[in-house]
Structure 1
Amino acid sequence: MEQVEVVVVGAGPVGLALGVALTQQGHQVVVLDRLAAGANTSRAAVVHARTLEMLADLGISERLVELGIKAKSFSVRSGRRELMPVEFGDLPTPYPFTLMVPQDVTERVLLERLTELGGEVRRPYVVTGVVQDADGATVTLADGQTIRASYVVAADGMHSVVRDQAGLGFEGEDLELSFALADVKAEGLPLEEVVLFFSKEGILVSAPLPDGTIRLVAQIDPAPEQPDVAFAQRLVDTRGPGRGEVVVREVVWGSRFRIHERVAPRYRAGRILLAGDAAHTHSPAGGQGMNLGLRDAVALAGALSTALRKGDEGPLDEYAVRAVEEARRVVALAHRLTVIGTAKPALRSIRNVALRVLALNPRIRRGLALQLAGLR
Structure 2
Amino acid sequence: MLPVLIAGAGPTGLTLAIDLARRNIPFRLVDAATEPFAGSRGKGIQPRTQEVFEDLGVLARLLAHGGPYPQMRAYRGTEVLGDHRLFEPREATDAVPYPNGLMSPQWRTESLLRERLAELGGAVEFGTPLTGFTQDADGVNATVGGHTVRASYLVGADGGRSFVRKTLGVDFLGETIETQQMLVGDLRLTGLDRDFWHAWPGGSGPLALCPLAGTDTFQLIAPPPDGVELPTLAGLQELVTAATGRADLRLTELIWLSRYRANVRMVDRYRVGRVFLAGDAAHVHSPAGGQGLNTGVQDAYNLGWKLAAVLSGEPDELLETYQAERLPVAADVLGLSSRLVERDAAEGIRRGKETDQLDISYRGGPLAPAGWQSATGLAAGDRAPDARLADGRRLFELFRGPHWTRLEFGTTSATPELTSQNVRTVVITEESVRASYGVPEGAVALVRPDGYLGAIEVSARAAHTVG
**TM-score, normalized by length of structure 1?**
0.83
TM-score, scaled relative to structure 2: 0.68
How far apart in 1 are the matches of 2:188 and 2:216?
A: 7
Q: Which moved more, 1:297-306 or 1:35-44?
A: 35-44
Q: Which of 122, 146, 149 does residue 147 from structure 1 map onto?
A: 149
Q: Tell me which structure has the larger Cα radius of gyration.
A: 2
Q: Which ranges in structure 2 are unaligned for 5 or more consecutive residues? A: 360-467
Matches of 1:220 and 1:127, distance apart in 2: 33
Q: Does the aligned pair in 1 maintain the 2:37–2:107 contact within 8 Å?
A: yes
Deviation readout 1:184-235 (Å, 9 max, x if unpaired): 3345656355466532532233322121222121234536513535634644
- Residue 310 of structure 1 aligns to a residue whose secondary structure is coil
Greater relative contact order: 1 or 2 (C-alpha under 8 angstroms, separation 6 or more)?
1
Count of aligned pairs between the two proteins: 349
Give 1:18 shift: 0.7
Amino acid at match of 2:216: G
State whether residues 73 and 196 of structure 2, in contact with CA within 8 Å, keep that contact through their aligned partners in structure 1: no
Residue matched to 1:125: 128
Aligned equivalent of 1:346: none
CA distance in 1, matches of 2:102, 2:234: 27
Q: Which portions of structure 1, spanning 4 or more consecutive aligned residues, are displaced by more than 6 angstroms?
A: none
What corresponds to 1:211 in structure 2? Answer: 215
Read off the aligned partner of 2:265 and give its amino acid letter.
Answer: R
Alignment partner, residue 289 of structure 1:
292
* Cα separation, 1, equivalents of 2:315 and 2:199: 46
- Report if aligned partners of 2:181, 2:224 keep a CA contact under 8 Å in 1: yes
Tell me, yes or no, if the aligned pair for 2:3 and 2:152 is still in contact at 8 Å: yes
Report which stretch shifted further, 289-298 or 97-106: 97-106
Match among 28, 33, 36 for residue 34 of structure 2: 36
Distance 2:19 2:220 in 1: 33
The aligned runs of 1:1-376 (5 Å cut-off) are 3-71=1-69, 75=72, 77=74, 79=76, 80-82=80-82, 85=85, 86-90=87-91, 93-141=96-144, 143=146, 145-176=147-178, 177-186=180-189, 189=192, 191-194=194-197, 197-209=200-212, 210-222=214-226, 225-228=230-233, 231-232=236-237, 234-235=239-240, 238=243, 243-244=245-246, 247-253=249-255, 254-341=257-344, 343=345, 351-352=346-347, 368-376=351-359
Q: Give the share of equivalent positions with the same residue, in percent.
A: 33
Distance 1:5 1:192 in 2: 48
CA distance in 1, matches of 2:333, 2:308: 26
Unaligned 5+ segments in structure 1 are 344-350, 360-364
Shift of 1:6: 0.7
What amino acid maps onto 2:153 in structure 1? Y
Asked whether the equivalents of residues 48 and 374 of structure 1 are also in contact (C-alpha less than 8 Å), the reply is yes
* Letter aligned with residue 101 of structure 1: S
Structure 1 residue 328, shift from structure 2 partner? 1.6
**Post-superposition offset of 1:237:** 6.1
Change (3 A) 1:313 1:76: farther
Tell me the C-alpha RMSD between the 2 structures.
2.7
CA shift digits 1:19-68 (9 cap, x unpaired): 11111111011111112222233332222221111111111111111111
Q: Conserved in 2, the CA contact under 8 Å of 1:260 and 1:281?
A: yes
| 1:331 shift after superposition | 1.7
Structure 1 residues 115 and 50, CA gap change in structure 2 (3 angstroms):
same
Check whether the contact 1:18–1:301 (CA below 8 A) recurs between aligned residues: yes
3-state SS of 1:94 partner: coil
Higher helix share: 1
